[in-house]
Amino acid sequence: MAVFLGIDVGTSGTKTLAMQEDGTILASATGEYPLSNPKPGWSEQDPADWWKATCDTVKKVLKAGKIKPDDVAGIGLSGQMHGSVFLDKQRNVIRPAILWNDQRTAAECAEIEKKAGGRDKLIGMVANPALTGFTAPKILWLRKHEAKHYDKTVQILLPKDYVRFCMTGEFATEVSDASGTLLLDVKNRQWSKPLLDKLDISPSLLPKVYESEDVTGQLTASAAKLLGLKAGIPVVGGGGDQAAGAVGNGIVKRGVISATMGTSGVVFAHSDEVQIDPQGRVHTFCHAVRGKWHVMGVVLSAGGSLQWYRNQLGQAEVAASKKIRTDPYNLLTDLAAEAPPGCEGLFFLPYLTGERTPHADPNARGAWIGLSLRHGQAHLVRSVIEGATYAMRDSLEIINELKIPIREIRLSGGGARSKFWRQLQADLYGRRVVTINAEEGPAYGVALLAAAGTGHYKGVVEACTATIKVNQATDPQAEAKRIYTKCYPMFGRLYKTLKNDFSELQRLIEECE
């Protein structure tokens, strides 16, 4: 039976897995690497670390799965979105890659909107507003602040596409990842010549754009030797980590939505047509499904809010968990279950690192509101979990507003592994939620894309239907649903009330530094 490799070039490490064509996982391995923060708000990595981790993890997976090189029939690539790798004419990396979570480009975002003719016209061209994480403002920043580096640049690649170049020698990307550069005409699935002209960026700097399951090149002999594989293996387009993760969750049909509660939270909806939020509150990108799109909302500190609580205020639970050999999150969710839904009027705003959806406000901050003498630790923990879930519901409400049907919500991430949090999501969303048999995320998704792209399935929808199944459903509890329906509007009003204060607070912080 043919084997397919899925490789996900993440921010903290690269994960490689081997999948049989029937969807069975044979082995997986992860290789970690450092993140550099040379200045406040900057985030960079050395692309050589991605390639080394790819080589190391592929060899580990082949060994662990007892896989012969001749059995590998295709490779799919995923990775952190929006990053930028700058190459010179010798095809060498010019400087460290600037990553998705780098915040240095606020001035360039304003410049892009101005040159585009305003925010609305920019959204009309590329379906999204300018955000600091995107690739386009990084290119403008390099041109403005490191002109010598910009002048040497002949090609700009996204993280996974640099690994593709190392594998195949080809400059290529695919529609889902390219959507996050802010330079793709998302509707027509090609680079936006009007915006490139307005920004004076040469199209020659950008790679060819493919559909996600298309073969983009073959493994070269030199790369095959480093990876322990045979030359000529086809490498498909793959997908940005969110689109690839959605494929891995089977979000490839109308009406199926995913809610992924990791450090950040992502609500992802498949769409058969281009559906753009005129206010730019959610992203509209090309999907990794041929000729389809997706709408995505991002909560920056979803599970990250509970992680913050554990690290800063949950030391007793961390210590106790070591004694009884359990995860401290189990103790925290047990504690949260002691408080009633709605936490007797206590709200937590989970904006510990600013917020993306729906506010696009880097100055937003976390806050407890409504504290009284009645509130104890159980209320504090539960309110943090509720706050993260309210923020996820914000994205669901916008998706519903765009008239994208929501027939099934598939949960993944840490919020799906906890029975308590699964129930809370069902109650707060007011809808049935389900979990599935696949938990491998983007690497699994691009392995499926590789199977589809090499002809082992007719397409990615067939691949997902054959391999991904729902295994558990949770329905909302009537009384909890009633309470959250009453509380949710208050959650939204609290941000609006504090928005100007958050901006003033940021100015105060800067003045006091």
Give the C-alpha separation, 190 to 210, whole Å: 9
Largest CA distance in the chain: 69
Give the C-alpha separation, 424 to 263, whole Å: 18
- Active-site residue numbers? 241
For 333, 347, 388, 413, 476, the CA distances from 422, given in Å and listed in that order, are: 11, 19, 13, 11, 10
Range(s) within the chain of domains with CATH label 3.30.420.40: 3-250+438-471, 303-405+413-429+478-512
Residue with tokens 């669901």: 396
pLDDT value of residue 148: 98
The identity of residue 430, as a single letter, is G
Strand-pair category, 3-9 with 72-79: parallel
pLDDT value of residue 263: 83
3-250+438-471 has which fold? Nucleotidyltransferase; domain 5 (3.30.420)
Q: What stretches of 402-441 show up as alpha helix (H) in DSSP?
A: 414-417, 419-429
> CA angle, corner 402, sides to 398 and 407, nearest 5?
85
Q: What is the tens place of the pLDDT at every residue in 352-361?
A: 988 989 998 8
In this model, does residue 326 exceed pLDDT 80?
yes
Residue with tokens 């041109």: 143
Query: Crossing angle for the helix pair 478-512 and 377-401, nearest 10 degrees?
Result: 100
DSSP code of residue 293: E
pLDDT value of residue 414: 85
Q: What is the tens place of the pLDDT at every residue in 442-472?
A: 999 999 999 999 999 999 999 999 999 999 9
In this model, does residue 432 exceed pLDDT 80?
yes
pLDDT value of residue 439: 78
CA 272 to chain CA centroid, nearest Å: 21
Q: What is the tens place of the pLDDT at every residue in 355-408?
A: 989 998 888 999 999 999 999 999 999 999 999 999 999 999 999 999 999 999
- For 145, list phi and psi in degrees, rounded to 5: -105, -20
Domain 303-405+413-429+478-512 CATH assignment equals 3.30.420.40: yes
Range 227-238 average pLDDT: 98
Contacts of 469 (CB under 8 A, 6+ apart): 436, 437
pTM for the whole thing?
0.90
Residues 161, 180 contacting (CB under 8 angstroms): no
Q: What is the tens place of the pLDDT at every residue in 77-94?
A: 999 999 999 999 999 999
Q: What is the tens place of the pLDDT at every residue in 186-209?
A: 999 999 999 999 999 999 999 999
